[in-house]
Amino acid sequence: MSVNERCYRIGAFAGLIALLSVIWLVVLPTYARQPKMQQHLKWLDDQGIDPSAMYYTELEVMEDILAKQRLAELRQKSDGSSR
């Protein structure tokens, strides 16, 4: 591997780390501070759901929650289309 190729790879790796850092340290915290996300996080907390564990465990309560959410979305769509 030539010196130029090695420098390019190191630069690309550093750029990737920088991009991931910006996403992790700037974009995601900014998104989490948005009112809609705050509301969702509060709702999860009120339901006793740990968001970090949502995708790794089966939550008994999730079926009821998802059914209610689907029903609310259907109602919202039907309210919007009837106007």
Residue with tokens 């970090």: 52
Does the pLDDT of residue 83 top 80, yes or no?
Answer: no
Retrieve residue 72's tokens.
């609310």
Does the pLDDT of residue 59 top 80, yes or no?
Answer: no
Give the pLDDT band (50/70/90) at residue 82.
Answer: low
Where do the structural domains in the chain lie, given as residue ranges? 1-33, 35-83
Find the mean pLDDT for residues 37-53: 85
C-beta of residue 31 within 8 angstroms of C-beta of residue 37: yes
Distance CA 40, CA 44 (A): 6
pLDDT (tens digit, 9 = 90+) per residue, 18-31?
999 999 999 999 99
Q: How confident is the model at residue 51, as a pLDDT?
A: 78
